[in-house]
Amino acid sequence: MALPCELIDEILCRLSVKYLLRYRCVSKGWCSLIDSTPFIKKHLKRNLEGAGGRLLIDSGAGNFNLVEGFESNFDGGDDDDAVAVEIKDPLKTLLSGSCFVGAANGLVCVSKNRMNDVLIFNPSTRKLREIPSAPAEYPRSFHTTESSLCGFGYDGVNDDYKVVKIAELYLQFRGIMAIVYSLKTNSWKRIQNVPTNTRFCGGRGMFASGALHWLAVKNPTKCREIIVGFDLGLEQFREVPFPAIKRPIIYYNTRFLISDGESLCFIDNYPNSHSDVWLMNIHSGAETLWSKALSVEQHGILGSFMFFRPVAVPKSGESVLLKVNVSGGRTKLVWYDLKRKTIKNVKIRGTLNKFDSHEYTESLIQLTKDKLLQRPSKQKPEKKQQKRRDDFLSKGFKLRL
């Protein structure tokens, strides 16, 4: 007796991407279902609401590894089965020399050649797309007194993925130029209303709740710290309130913005003392407030560290996965139990002593206009390739720590 189509849909929706890619060969009906937009969105929604995500390990210079046997949840078990598997060619060659920019809904954005070349790939399907070069008026090279910034995120209003590039120009015309790329239209356009009298700090924009965020200094002569947000739906810049921290700005290089795609957090490092983690929340009346969620002492439970940042926060909110930079340039991953104030080291076979790590969600999101570069299974390739198929901050930041 054949299973009803609705039941097949529910069963397949619970499987990982590597199995779904294999099952496309079962029949034309299954292939059509798995490639359909409703199924892809339903599968993504289940993964986003699930217990945990996946880890992408960046060993530098575009050498990326996917961690198998690991999910971002804290269950007190062993992680000995977790292993870092290198992304193979041809995708490996295309990613060589790239730097991580951001991730959203299973898509990862990287940049090469001082952010002049931008690529978007799906680690789960091994598909990649090289996006067009920036408009001619956007500078391709920068002097020592100029800088370039980049960010990537999901525009939920228009169901689109966007890349934002910002050039701070002080020798050419003294100002800021910003452009935004839409994956849906495959085109760039210039943003007219850009911040004035503002200096950005850091190169990578942090994506949270539909917007990209950068630390910045308003009126550099007076050194007023702010957070600049760019709403991907409205394509507008806005100033975001800064946490109530009384420390002088001379320590700005010890402050960082971090995001897991939903929550925006601010890390304030006090050298040789401790580090504070602040979380942003939106209250009634669109009032933005910050609250201190975590404070970790030097030489405490994490030992002596140079810097740490949250990598993943499970839905339970009982723990957080931290990447910790320790003395000697080494890197380690630990689960930090927020209630018990205890840690558990995470062991991933195949990682180097120094690496970066990012969480991503398994998805079937397709990157059209590009071929399937690599399958994560050992199956033979198919003979014929299938067709490829509100207001800023209004919803608030969902606190998960």
Cβ(210)–Cβ(395) below 8 Å: yes
Judge whether residue 331 has pLDDT over 50: yes
State what percent of residues in the chain have pLDDT above 70.
80
Task: Give the pLDDT score at 302.
Answer: 85
Structure tokens at 24: 């496309």
The predicted-structure confidence for 149-208, as pLDDT tens digits, reads as follows 999 999 999 999 999 999 987 665 568 899 999 999 999 999 988 988 888 887 799 998
Task: Give the pLDDT score at 269.
Answer: 83
Tell me which H or E stretch contains 41: helix 37-48
Average pLDDT, integer, range 339-347: 86
The chain-wide mean pLDDT, for the chain, equals: 81
C-alpha gyration radius of the chain: 21
Question: Confidence class of residue 124 from pLDDT cuts 50, 70 and 90?
Answer: very high
The predicted-structure confidence for 208-266, as pLDDT tens digits, reads as follows 889 999 998 887 667 788 899 999 999 999 998 888 877 665 455 678 888 876 778 88
Give every CB contact of residue 279 below 8 A, 6+ residues apart in sequence: 263, 264, 265, 266, 290, 291, 293, 397, 399, 401
Task: Give the pLDDT score at 288.
Answer: 62
Judge whether residue 39 has pLDDT over 60: yes
| Separation of alpha carbons 89 and 95, rounded Å | 9
Compute φ and ψ for 254, nearest 5 degrees: -105, 15
**Bridge partners for 130 per DSSP:** 119
Task: Give the pLDDT score at 38.
Answer: 93
Give every CB contact of residue 144 below 8 A, 6+ residues apart in sequence: none
Tell me which H or E stretch contains 297: strand 287-297
